[in-house]
């Protein structure tokens, strides 16, 4: 069975990506009990093309194994990924029985995916086992049996049954350490006239607006100066944030209230939020005043009416990670 990757339609690829996210030189893996070893099944996957290139994948199916197997095709360098790390990868996955391609990122650099390693997860633990111990620059082939994949249910949207193994070819692009839990660094004073921010014990902010009219121009202050790497345009950030409508005094969104940080690319948010993040350091807490022309004004406000087309908004953001 020979397959060359081609980026699938968004609907088909998304079915597997959602399932994956819901769980969050040839030879053997390192001699560590937590690292998936190579075996007859993973060694049987033939791959043409080096790291970063679209792979041509060939194997004689069906491929089966009792446990997840991993064969290193090209060894990278640097510190190996560990449980709890988030790994940025390019991949193609095939049905281990039929050879049908189920999903691919395309290996163009534009669709690389981020996945957290959780070797104690129940569903798709095999995927974490493939990534655990891998170093950046590594290309590997892996075979995941149903018991360490999607179980008896399979993935009906992709015609994957509960008896068919998954065959992966993965490029490990980079490893992202676990994000901070909250902003860490030296406290800074905001300029006079800014909203004031008080922090709860867990770091959640309470915003108090000053008297007078909302700011009409974009403005920014660093409340806690972190010493991590600088956020670059186009990176994906992990943040905790609270957003308030200055005109109404109402909180319209808060990751703190949801109980979990948010991940998103700086290219996928309103311009004012992007401008507030890019150039800041990981570990910092910022307060950004965003006028309507850099916020939701151009779109006429938000669909739920919580932000009008002429409303100024305030964000307090803890920058926890960037990659």
Question: pLDDT of 127-153, one tens digit each?
Answer: 999 999 999 999 999 999 999 999 999
Q: What is the pLDDT of residue 305?
A: 94
pLDDT for 26 beyond 50: no
pLDDT for 8 beyond 50: no
Q: Are 149 and 124 in contact (CB under 8 A)?
A: yes
Q: Which residues pair with 306 in a beta bridge?
A: none
Q: Mean per-residue pLDDT for 75-101?
A: 93
Q: What is the pLDDT of residue 16?
A: 57
For 177, counting Cβ atoms within 10 Å of its Cβ (0-12 exposed, 13-18 middle, 19+ buried), the class is middle
Ranges 21-25, 155-159, 234-238: which has the least confidence: 21-25
Q: What is the pLDDT of residue 110?
A: 81
Q: What is the pLDDT of residue 123?
A: 73
Q: Mean per-residue pLDDT for 229-241?
A: 94
Q: What's the pTM?
A: 0.64
């Amino acid at each position: 069975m020979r397959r060359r990757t081609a980026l699938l339609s968004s609907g088909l690829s998304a079915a597997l990506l959602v399932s994956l996210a819901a769980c969050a030189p040839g030879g053997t893996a390192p001699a560590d009990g937590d690292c998936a070893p190579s075996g007859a099944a993973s060694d049987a996957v033939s791959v043409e093309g080096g790291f970063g290139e679209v792979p041509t994948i060939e194997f004689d199916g069906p491929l089966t194994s009792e446990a997840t197997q991993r064969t290193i095709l090209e060894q990278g360098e640097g510190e190996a990924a560990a449980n709890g790390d988030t790994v940025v990868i390019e991949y193609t996955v095939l049905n281990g029985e039929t050879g049908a391609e189920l999903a691919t990122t395309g290996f163009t650099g534009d669709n690389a995916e981020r996945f957290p390693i959780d070797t104690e997860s129940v569903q798709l633990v095999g995927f974490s086992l493939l990534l655990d111990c891998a170093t950046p620059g590594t290309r590997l082939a892996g075979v995941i049996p149903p018991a360490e994949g999607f179980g008896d249910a399979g993935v009906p949207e992709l015609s994957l049954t509960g008896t068919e193994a998954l065959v992966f070819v993965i490029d490990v692009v980079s490893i992202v350490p676990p994000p901070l839990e909250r902003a860490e660094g030296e406290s800074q004073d905001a300029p006079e006239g800014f909203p004031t921010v008080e922090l709860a014990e867990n770091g959640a902010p309470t915003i108090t607006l000053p008297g007078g009219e909302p700011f009409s121009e974009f403005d920014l202050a660093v409340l806690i100066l972190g010493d991590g790497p600088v956020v670059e345009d186009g990176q994906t950030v992990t943040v905790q944030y609270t957003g308030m409508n200055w005109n109404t005094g109402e909180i319209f969104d808060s990751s703190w209230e949801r109980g979990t940080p948010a991940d998103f690319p700086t290219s996928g948010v309103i311009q004012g939020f992007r401008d507030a993040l890019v150039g800041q350091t990981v570990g910092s807490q910022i307060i950004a005043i965003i006028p309507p022309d850099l916020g939701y004004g151009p779109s006429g406000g938000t669909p739920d009416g919580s932000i009008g087309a002429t409303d100024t908004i305030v964000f307090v953001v803890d920058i926890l990670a960037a990659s």
